[in-house]
Amino acid sequence: GAVVSQHPSRVICKSGTSVKIECRSLDFQATTMFWYRQFPKQSLMLMATSNEGSKATYEQGVEKDKFLINHASLTLSTLTVTSAHPEDSSFYICSARGPQGAGYGYTFGSGTRLTVV
């Protein structure tokens, strides 16, 4: 089945530094990748949608300059949290969707727990 690898699973960084999270589709080409943020005991909140080779589309209220998304290839998307602050601490999850014609749905990574101290 479709597998999405996300790493790191946990990261602790100092306030003001940047953190990069990687999301890879291992056995399929991801036409679209999604980045979510999840607060404790809440549902997933979509941050942005990205297609390979084009700029990401950010949801309303998500700062483009703080959450940089790069979708350089059909198997890799990265989320960089720039100048991180404690309020950016959260659980970040990526999702990838393969070609609809091949029956691919949405596959999620295992998530990254970001703690900013």
Partner 1 sequence: QQQVKQSPQSLIVQKGGISIINCAYENTAFDYFPWYQQFPGKGPALLIAIRPDVSEKKEGRFTISFNKSAKQFSLHIMDSQPGDSATYFCAASVWGAGSYQLTFGKGTKLSVIP
What are the residues binding partner 1 (CB under 8 A)? 4, 6, 31-32, 34, 41-44, 46, 49, 51, 57, 91, 93, 95, 100-101, 105-111, 113
Q: Which is nearer to partner 1, 43 or 65 (CB)?
A: 43
Q: Which is nearer to partner 1, 17 or 27 (CB)?
A: 27
Residue with tokens 């990265």: 78
Cα distance between the two ends of the chain: 37
Token pair in block for residue 101: 């014609």
Q: Which is nearer to partner 1, 85 or 113 (CB)?
A: 113
- CB of 59 closer than 8 Å to CB of 67: no
